Chains A and B, each alone.
Chain A
Amino acid sequence: MSEHVWEVFRQERRGQPFEHAGSVVAPDADFAEAWAREQYGRRGESVALWLVPRDAIRDVEDWADEFDLKYRRVDGYSIKARLKEARELAAESAARSRGAFSAGESQ
């Protein structure tokens, strides 16, 4: 029976992603459609379905990250500490400019 498994992806509302909802066993696309329509839409819970034979799906599950290329991920940057430092420097610099300016002014 497993050679006849069709995976069903459903869209709940227009514009939303198609999400995997389950599977039906059917001999061809017509039966798969007739049966998926009822199993995944009889209560109006889907506006669209994608039916895909299970064999057509390629499973991808692992990635190699041997060299820890951190620049590719959000956790590869520690923004907070540097931002704090940059703000402090900018504040100090602004204070010095005002001091120099007023010093200049008063001359």
Chain B
Amino acid sequence: MSPTDALLGIADDELVLGWRESEWTGIAPLLEEDVAFSSIAQNEIGHARALYQLLSEDADALAFDRPPGEYRCAPLVELRLLDWAHTIARRWLYETADEIRLGALKDDPDPEVAGLAAKIDREEAYHRMHAEMWHERLRDEPRFREAVEELWPYAVGLLPEQLRAELAARTGLDLPGDTVLRGKERGSHTDELAELWGEMTMVRRSAPAGAQW
């Protein structure tokens, strides 16, 4: 994978996850959490934007104007998870994985990339606190444990092979075998992406390319 592809993968992850998480705006289980969760979604999209800006003059074009097949996001973020147990399970798994890959990115030879990774990492500190807080509170809930188990292979599929052992160590879960991982790793897309992309781009596609909004 080229360095650009790797960064695009992270950007697309953040965009699509931010998109999925903004689906909770207004309907989260507690009003206080609704507000906090919405900030997390906005931060993710902000990170996506910053990464796209590193890769292109026109961040919006890069974010929205590719056909679904050209997105580099991992299947984990594409899943529509409109129940809280799965949503928080994904949040917690994603933050754990993201911390590992950001750690690697902070050592990138390109100073712009390393600098941006450090910035993102500092903001993610609050996301990690939030995810840990929920993990602590829900760890004994069967619903939550089941959701974590279900999403675990997808979380593994988010990371390149060399970072997966670290993820397993941090979560205390065993790495799944290849058959389990099939279709859940970066490089595959779920059926859900096309529908998500359709809704995400419908207004934008209603005007000619280059139209102002």
Contacts and interface: CB of A to CB of B under 8 A. Distances in A.
- Interface of A, secondary structure class, is helix
Contacts of B36: 34-35, 37-38
Given A37-B126, A38-B39, A42-B39, A24 B133 contact: no
- Interface of B, secondary structure class, is helix
Interface range for A: 10 to 19
A39 B130 CA distance: 14
Contacts of A39: 32, 35
Interface residues of B, number: 12
A37 B127 CA distance: 12
Contacts of A35: 32-33, 35-36
B129 interface: yes
Contacts of B38: 38
Greatest chain A CB density within 10 A among B32, B35, B36 is at B32
A30 B39 CA distance: 17
A42 B36 CA distance: 9
A26 B33 CA distance: 10
A51 interface: no
A74 to B, nearest CB: 44
A25 B33 CA distance: 10
B133 A30 contact: yes
Nearest to A35: B32
Contacts of A24: 32
Interface string A18-41: 000000111100110011011100
A37 B38 CA distance: 13
B25 to A, nearest CB: 13
A105 to B, nearest CB: 83
Contacts of A31: 32, 133, 137
Nearest to A41: B39
Nearest to B132: A30
Greatest chain B CB density within 10 A among A34, A37, A42 is at A34
Contacts of A26: 32
Contacts of B129: 30, 34
A22 to B, nearest CB: 11
Greatest chain B CB density within 10 A among A24, A25, A35, A42 is at A35
A31 B126 CA distance: 12
Contact of B32 (A25, A30, A42): A25
A94 B137 CA distance: 83
B133 A38 contact: no
A39 B39 CA distance: 10
6 contacts: A34-B36, A34-B129, A35-B32, A35-B33, A35-B35, A38-B39
Query: What 5 A-B pairs have minimum CB-CB distances, sorted nearest first?
Result: A35-B32, A38-B36, A38-B35, A30-B133, A38-B39
Given A37-B36, A38-B36, 20 more contacts: A24-B32, A25-B30, A25-B32, A26-B32, A30-B129, A30-B133, A31-B32, A31-B137, A34-B126, A34-B129, A35-B32, A35-B33, A35-B35, A35-B36, A37-B126, A38-B32, A38-B35, A38-B38, A39-B32, A39-B35
